[in-house]
Amino acid sequence: MTSQDHLRAFLERAPYIRFLGMTAELAGDELTGILPFSPHLIGNTLLPALHGGVIGGFLEMTALAQLAVTQSTPRVHKTIDVTIEYLRPGRALTTYARADLRKVGRRIANVHVEAWQEARSQPIAALRGHFMLAED
């Protein structure tokens, strides 16, 4: 299977990804998660702003998608822990995220993800997490 096949399989396997409407683009081994705006993702109707859980879930799914591409296995990797930093309100716009695999060991991966909307230099949220790598 190619990296694109692993990505497609991961995106189709997770029901939460379908709920979010998340997609991803792959350029070499660099994955960009894309969260198109949809009214059902709003948490604060006064601003309007994306729900914090939606942003956190999108960051986590981007990390898992990156691991699915680079650490090819038919099984899904498991989240151990995540810390999310909410830096700015996620406005009613398309949101993008990119994961950086900081350290990938034999059993655990340390991943950092940043999400942005209009400018990558102005992230709206960041995730730092540890993930248990699935065995073949």
Domains, the chain, in order of start with CATH, read: 3-132 (3.10.129.10)
Token pair belonging to 16: 């939460």
pLDDT of residue 16: 92
Banded model confidence at residue 5, pLDDT cuts 50, 70, 90: confident
CA pair distance 113, 98, nearest whole angstrom? 6
Q: Largest Cα–Cα distance of the chain, in whole Å?
A: 47
Sign of CA dihedral 64, 65, 68, 70: negative
* Nearest C-alpha neighbor of 66 from the set 103, 106, 105, 33: 33
Angle at 110 between CA 96 and CA 56, to 5 degrees: 40
| Residues 27-70: tens digit of each pLDDT | 887 899 999 999 999 998 888 999 999 999 999 999 999 998 88
DSSP line for 60-110: HHHHHHHHHHHS--SSPPEEEEEEEEE-S--BSS-EEEEEEEEEE-SSEEE
> pTM, whole model, 2 decimals?
0.93
